[in-house]
Amino acid sequence: MSDTSPEVPILRRLDDLRALTRAWRRAGERIAVVPTMGALHAGHISLVAAARTRAERVIVTIFVNPRQFNSREDYEKYPRTEEADAVLLEPFAVDAVFVPAEHEVYPEGFATTVSVSGLTAPLEGEYRPGHFDGMSTVVTKLLTMTSADCAMFGEKDWQQLQVVRRMARDLNLDCEIVPCPTVREPDGLALSSRNQRLTHDARAMSAALPRALLGAAAEIAEGRAPGPVLETARAAVLGAGFDSIDYLELRDAETLGPAIEGRPARLFVAAWAGPVRLIDNVPIAVPAG
């Protein structure tokens, strides 16, 4: 990625970003941010498009945050595709792409952690200890570093979205958290940077994940007991070739606690295809009474 590309203005230093955002603010312009870890795909582009409709200025941040990975190996293997990211962003005339070095985000002596309790305990929290602390800390930093009025988050990471909403509310961050729908491949697989790491065979069977979720969601909405429906869905995922399932669960969409009749609920899954862990979720209409 060339720092001098006129189409995609890359900034690596916070001082340079601040100079820009201060000028924009003086001109009365709103700022929208799309926080990413790079390896951009059409899902990210949908966030950029949503950002464009909400603010005069759009910043995309690209930072592979070491503090939200559970293993050094996963962090190191996370795809880094700066050149391709720049090419993908070019048609969208973003006003700045902020690509900070690690020391810019976590300077020597950095000692602060933002930690949200409750919402972070189940699902990803159970299987990825520390992940949400790392995520919440970096998102707080990215929102303040960019002085954003609004920030776009994909519904594919539904639990992350709820945690960020709670954190923004609790810390009185003056930044609207905007949810954006999951973007899917034609066969239903949710777009994710991790999909790049799927083998040909794993990619071929991975649509079994959304298929199982959507099938189970439809059956529960029709009034079938969730227990056996979820068992059948788990069997379908493993039968398709996934190696293991961390969770496939029905939960309240907002609190992430047990689903309650008449309240919005969602089905959540995390499953392993070889070394690649995929997550997904779908809404479900839990029948009242």
Supply the residues annotated as catalytic. 44
Determine the interface stretch with ligand PAF among 101-109, 133-141, 215-223, 258-266 (rule: CB under 6 A): 133-141
Is 138 a residue that touches ligand PAF (CB under 6 A)? yes
Please identify, using beta-carbon distances, which residue of 35 and 122 lies nearer to ligand PAF. Answer: 35
Determine the interface stretch with ligand PAF among 13-21, 33-41, 209-217, 276-284 (rule: CB under 6 A): 33-41
Binding residue (CB under 6 A) for ligand PAF from 139, 190, 202, 216: 139
Is 37 a residue that touches ligand PAF (CB under 6 A)? yes
Please identify, using beta-carbon distances, which residue of 178 and 218 lies nearer to ligand PAF. Answer: 178
Least spacing, CB of residue 55 vs ligand PAF, in Å = 18
Binding residue (CB under 6 A) for ligand PAF from 124, 157, 219, 280: 157
Determine the interface stretch with ligand PAF among 83-91, 135-143, 166-174, 224-232 (rule: CB under 6 A): 135-143
Is 135 a residue that touches ligand PAF (CB under 6 A)? yes
Is 65 a residue that touches ligand PAF (CB under 6 A)? yes
Is 233 a residue that touches ligand PAF (CB under 6 A)? no
Binding residue (CB under 6 A) for ligand PAF from 35, 100, 125, 210: 35
Within positions 66 to 105, which residues make up the interface with ligand PAF, using CB under 6 A?
68
Binding residue (CB under 6 A) for ligand PAF from 17, 32, 36, 43: 36
Give me the DSSP letters along the chain.
--TT-SSS-EE--HHHHHHHHHHHHHTT--EEEEEE-S---HHHHHHHHHHHTT-SEEEEEE---GGG-SSHHHHHHS---HHHHHHHHGGG--SEEE---HHHHS-TT--------STTSSTHHHHSTTHHHHHHHHHHHHHHHHT-SEEEEEGGGHHHHHHHHHHHHHTT-S-EEEEEPPPB-TTSPBP-GGGGG--HHHHHHTTHHHHHHHHHHHHHHTT--HHHHHHHHHHHHHHHT-SEEEEEEEEETTT-SB--TTS-EEEEEEEEETTEEEEEEEEE-PPP-
Nearest to 270 by CA among 134, 153, 126: 126
Residues that bind ligand PAF (CB under 6 A): 35-37, 65, 68, 135, 138-139, 157, 160
